[in-house]
Amino acid sequence: MKVDPQPIRRRVHRLPREQRTADIMEMARTVFCEKGYGEAVISEIAQRLGVVEGTIYRYFPSKRDLLTAVASDWYEQMLSDYDQQLEGLRGTWNRLRFMVWRHLTVIHDDPAMCRLVMGELRVLPEYRKTPVYELNRAYTQRTLAIIEDGMASGEFRLDVPLQVVRDMIYGGVEHHTWAFLRGVGDFSPDEAADSIVDIIYRGLANPESASDVADTNGQAIHRLEKVTKRLERLAKSPGAPQ
């Protein structure tokens, strides 16, 4: 009696869960940024990855959950970069300027992700319960920590609420870049950072410290003037070298 051969089983290559999750989020970010959240569909993300749609839902229960994960990963990468860059910076103005400049640069270089976060996640009633909200707080806290250090050292005045300073910085940035995010015009992160930080720094500067600096500068100028006059007298004297 002839025995039928055993059916050949197709070997399925399964990626580790972490790798599969990372691949899904990377492709989802591409599709979300290309099409916008409303027009993006899970089936296209799956098709580009070469998997069935159900695979996506095994890792992310909904499209909104997937967007939240993508935005959270985006924030975590930025925070890691901020911390590395800040380690090598000294001086309150330099550190504050870096934070504002970096934020402006993110908006300039990655407007699609910024639109997704601002237009799709921050408007949700449950936004404050999402990990994106906590990461955004950590994001702005880096800047507030610089302000607090300036207050502690006496460089900045103590009578300005930190929340007001935060709102002035980030609200000012968003207002300045809103037209750009709508696709109208352009802006320079360098020029905008200089202007914003100059206004904030001058507004926070401790008047007593500023007076001390002015006094010190005045004394230095006075000494230079005396030295200059003395050199001029020596130059005019009969025995001065020609």
Task: Per residue of the chain (242 residues), give pLDDT as tens.
Answer: 454 554 444 444 567 888 999 999 999 999 999 999 999 999 999 999 999 999 999 999 999 999 999 999 999 999 998 888 888 899 999 999 999 999 999 999 999 999 999 999 999 999 999 999 999 999 999 999 999 999 999 999 999 999 999 999 999 999 999 999 999 999 999 999 999 999 999 999 998 765 444 444 444 455 555 545 554 554 454 444 34
**Tokens standing for residue 68:** 């939240």
The span from the CA of 204 to the CA of 196, in Å, is 12
**Tokens standing for residue 207:** 């008047």
Determine the Cα angle at 224 with ends 202 and 240, to 5°: 160
- Residue pair 156/147 in contact (Cβ under 8 Å)? The answer is yes
The span from the CA of 122 to the CA of 100, in Å, is 20
Q: Is the dihedral of CA 21, 26, 29, 34 positive or negative?
A: negative
For tokens 């699609």, the residue is: 112
What spatial distance separates the first Cα and last Cα of the chain, rounded to whole Å?
A: 124
**Tokens standing for residue 139:** 């994001």
Put simply, whether the predicted model's pTM sits higher than 0.75 gets the answer yes
The span from the CA of 146 to the CA of 97, in Å, is 10
Which one-letter amino acid corresponds to residue 65?
D
